[in-house]
Structure 1
């Protein structure tokens, strides 16, 4: 389970703000389900950006490939 602290959410706001300024054509972003809640509403209200959260399927045990998220993890794995 991933634990997101208030500092992580604050950093996510700053990151999304910078993304909006530097890449205004990006209108949809995916995030871990730990970022659900106020960040989703904030990104829509203030940035006009849709923040979709990716959740594990109910009842899933062990490793599960999550849509969208595996692409990021695979890419980071190749880079490192």
Structure 2
């Protein structure tokens, strides 16, 4: 085992609001999308939010109550 359990949030397909330059060109809408995504991620009951996208990581990290990590960081921590 890699040392963690994956918990998929409700509506996992929803965008976090980063979407390239969207967070810069549409900050209000981007912020609303981020809040919606974080609400679902944080209610999934995990201890850490994982992502494969550096843009999502940076965007979510700004407001998340939980640590946000790239999946490769987990591999380094648990598998090396």
Do they fold alike, i.e. is TM over 0.5?
A: no
State the TM-score, normalized to the length of structure 1. 0.40
Higher relative contact order (CA 8 A, sep 6+): 2
Larger relative strand fraction: 1
Rg larger in structure: 1
